[in-house]
Structure 1
């Protein structure tokens, strides 16, 4: 029997608070999943969820996973490549997950996806820079 995910509001600040609220939860594997309940305010001129909203959700999920993997050191996006696979309609809850593929020195490489239920909406790869304090 599958356990129900417990969602908590994420205090991301800035743009994500204007888009969101973004919710976070632990998934079945012990990682994190981030969700956004979309509305008509998230739509583009075609009546679909705007690609900028989807990309912002991807970037937020990637940044948080990188931050946790870097022992909570600040991480900034160096590159984010997004591929839109399908469209989402306002009213959909979009779930974003990210995983670290590799870390090399101060660079981290991640993969991510946004889903509407089981349907893939977007895929992404990212390069993040870990900013460590120098003593």
Structure 2
């Protein structure tokens, strides 16, 4: 079912342990390199394995991508220091289906010494599928 990827997106470079990373197993996931500062934009084409038995995009996929997307934005903001999700709140608003291009846009709202706060929206075209907000601990900070 794989469709085309919109212009401006490139495959997400996961990590040194690419063969075993969680994101590799739920992907492929793509990112925009030209996103504004304090913002990250990722996307993925909904495949049948991303869907629930009713043929709709599984909320767990949306949540996983939003969590990883926001976490990557924190990681970049704190210059590669370790970080971890403290809180993640998701509101499911619309339904996606196999074949849809889903785009997530995350924004860093505030960066403190030990915690960062973010929000994210996941959309299929103009249709809002999920909004999320969360906080991330900066590990090892005092």
| Aligned structure 1 segments of 4 or more residues deviating by more than 6 angstroms | none
Which residue does 1:10 correspond to in 2?
A: 12
Paired residue secondary structure (2:67): helix
Pairwise CA RMSD of aligned residues?
1.9
What's the TM-score once normalised by structure 2's chain length? Answer: 0.84
Count of aligned positions: 131
- Name stretches of at least 5 consecutive residues in structure 2 with no aligned partner: 1-5
| Structure-1 separation of matches of 2:65 and 2:35 | 20
Is 1:84 the counterpart of 2:92 in the alignment?
yes
Counterpart in the other structure of 1:34:
42
Distance 1:27 1:124 in 2: 22
CA drift at 1:101: 1.1
User: How far does residue 73 in structure 1 lie from its aligned partner after superposition?
Assistant: 1.4
> Cα offset for 1:11?
2.7
Q: Equivalent residue for 1:106?
A: 114
The TM-score with structure 1 as length reference comes to 0.88
1:2-45 deviations in whole A, cap 9, x for unaligned? xx842111132422111101101135645431011111111102
Segments of structure 1 that go 5 or more residues without pairing to the other structure are: none
Separation in structure 1 between the aligned mates of residue 109 and residue 41 of structure 2, nearest angstrom: 17
